[in-house]
Amino acid sequence: MEEPLCCCEYIDRTGEKNHLVACFCDCEDLDEGCERWLTCKSLPPGTLERIADTILDRFRIPWLKGAIKINITLLPPLVLLPVFLHVAALHFLLALVILTSLPVVVLWYYYLTHRRKGRTLFFLSLGLFSLGYMYYVFLREVVPRGHVGYTQVVILTCGLILMLVALSQAKRDPGYLASQMSNDKSPCQGSNGLPNRKVLGSSNGLHGAAVSGIASCHAKNDDAKGYSRMLAEGLDKAKEDWCAKCQLIRPPRAGHCRLCGVCVRRLDHHCVWINSCVGERNHRAFILALSLFLLTSVYGITLTLDTICRGQNMFIALFYCPGTYADYSSALSFTCVWYCAIVTAGMGYILLIQLLNISYNVTEREARLALREDTGRRLLGGIVVDTGKYNRGFLYNWGQFLTLGSPTPQRSAEDIV
């Protein structure tokens, strides 16, 4: 039996035992890269990728049963956000430049990671640390001024806790579909990666059962022409819903997430802020978390502006608050208010789109596909796309959304036929 790892040992990406003390050893790629950089020579292909993989693999902290690897994308928000906000509090022009640049940088990083189809904890870390740091600044800089009561602090704290609880629920299983892949080639996969006729009889999907029932029904009636037509339609539909990567027939409205690498029931989109998909099982928790965040954020902004800009209307104080930069505490609080306002505006737009999509019973994925295939129509100035496929009216659509994930009675193929 292998010896257990001590707190500073770990198994590296090559499968060998290593130690944290030796993190700067065996750095041939880094040495070669530095030497070529000093001599103005180009690096061989793949050198930078190998250096990055080595650094990420060795970035660990001691733990009980061996050193654990830390995702490096967690660290930039923890370091840069406080630095930027404190620098922005020094002068109005610095605040203008920094608060304008932050959304641009975040969007650039989003499109960079999205194009590479990679998952990152940067946005989840940024969101959670922003919440914690704003709450810390509120308790340290705003509450001691004496204008915020104990009850108001309790309400704000409860809102923050409820939002985190809803966020933890949204992080759970969104409705992943179990993959049918095995070591051997799937018997229901043809040479072109699509299901052959056997899958329609053996799959536990709805289309397989329906086509099998149709086939048996028409066989009994000896209607060869009708059977052939119905079977062809069933095969076409099964090929359309077949996922070659997960080796399964997707149920209606399910989709394959290229970032998570799995199929999800009623897939809406992959949210980088929770680092997970939004699907059938966590969509309601996702909407609840967004709503609680907006309410808590607006309430915190109101309390802060009412403290540092006494006697002014909240909307006026947000743009004009004389004497804010007279002392550093007020300047930092005002800068954090503007940071919260920018984030709240972005999350409010996301929530608006989500509520409109629910009202028209369409998911983000379905809207994108409808625009790509030119099968949907834009409504309300183009911010929502109605596919017309599942829209059954406002009340019915919301009733269906509020019952997502509820068990539905199973029907046999004979009942369907």
Active-site residues, by number, are: 271
- If one counts every other C-beta atom within 10 angstroms of the C-beta of residue 182, the result is 9
State whether residue 97 is helix, strand or coil: helix
Q: Which residues pair with 271 in a beta bridge?
A: 276
Give the span between the Cα atoms of 351 and 339, in whole angstroms.
18
HSE value, Cβ hemisphere, 13 Å, CA-based, for 306:
12
- If one counts every other C-beta atom within 10 angstroms of the C-beta of residue 392, the result is 10
Amino acid occupying residue 276: S
The burial of 95, by beta-carbon neighbours within 10 Å (0-12 exposed, 13-18 middle, 19 or more buried), is given as buried
Sign of the Cα torsion 207, 285, 178, 111 reads positive
Provide Rg for the chain, Cα atoms.
28
**How far is residue 64 CA from its own chain's centroid?**
31
State whether residue 10 is helix, strand or coil: strand
For residue 315, what are its two tokens?
Answer: 């909307």
State whether residue 411 is helix, strand or coil: coil
Q: In b/e form, how buried is each residue of 234-245, taking b as 16+ CB within 10 angstroms? A: bbebbbebbbee
Q: What is the DSSP letter of 277?
A: E
